[in-house]
Structure 1
Amino acid sequence: MAKSQQTFSKSEKEKKRMKKRLDKKKKMEARKADKDENGTSGIQFAYVDHNGNLTDTPPDPELKVEYELEDIQISVTKKEDLPEEDPVRKGKVNFFDTSKGFGFIIDSDNGEKYFTHVSGLIDEIAENDKVSFELEKGMRGMNAVKVKKI
C-alpha cells in the first residue's frame, strides 16, 4: 500500500487558499449588495482645487492663480543669479602636526572643520592661530588652501 502524497503542510496551504478565495468572494458580493442598495458610491468626478488637493466640488475660478511662463524655473539657479560669496574665509587652527604636515581649521562663520596640508600653507601656523583661508574640493571633502596667519 502506497503512502498519500498529501502532507500536512500542503493541506494547510490549500485550506488557506480556499479561505482567501471565499473571503474575497464575500467582500465582492457585499460591495455589489451595497451598490444596489445605496447606488454608486464614491466620487464620480475628482477636481483639483487651487491648493492642489482633490475634491468632489469644482474649484472656484476666483481663487485661480496665473503664472507667467518666464517665471517658471525647472533647473538649478544659475550662477550669475546667486549672490557672490567672498572666497576668503577666517578661522582658527584647531590642530596642526608639523612633523606629519597636516592639521584642521575651524571656520569662524559656520563652525565647520576643514583639513589642511602643509602644501596649502603660505605662512607657518600653530595651534590656536587665527588664519584666513580658501576652500578647495579634495578627495574626502573640502580642504583649506592658501592659509595665511592673521
Structure 2
Amino acid sequence: MRDNEIGIEEQLVIAKANQEIRDLLEKYGLRIEKGKLIFPKEDMEILRSHILFSHFVSFWKHYAIRIKLIFVCLAFYPVIVLAAMMNGFADVDFFYLFSMGVISFLVFGLGFLIQRVEENIGYWQGKRDKGVKTPLKKKWQFIPADLKRYKSNVN
C-alpha cells in the first residue's frame, strides 16, 4: 500500500512539473510533440537567415578587396576601349559602343552594390603602420558597420 502512495505522489509531482514546463514553453511560443521540442516556423526562418547572413559576412570579409579590384578593372575597361576607338586602334562600331554602354551600366550597378554592402556590413580600412617606414605598407582592419555608424568608437 505504501508503494502505491509513493507512486501516486511521484506521478503528481511529475505531472505538475510537466505542466509547468508546458506553460513555460507556451509562454515563449514553443511546444513539445512526442518528446521533441517543436519550434515555430518563423523562428526557423530567422535562424536560417541568420546563418546565411553570417556566411555572407565572412565571405565579404574575405573577398571585399578582391571584389573592389575587379570593380576598378571593369570601370577602366570601357574608358580604355573608348580611347582606343578614338585613336583609331579599334573600329568604331555600334556593337562596341552598345557593349561598352552595357558594361558601364553594369559597373555602376556593381559600384552601388559594393557601396550598399559596405554601408550595411562593413569595410576594410588601411591604416598606416608606424613601425614600417614605407608609405605604401598599411595595416588593414575590418571596420564593421556598427562601429562605422558611431564614429567615436573607431580608433
TM value normalised by structure 1: 0.25
Please identify which structure carries the higher helix content.
2
Please identify which structure carries the higher strand content.
1
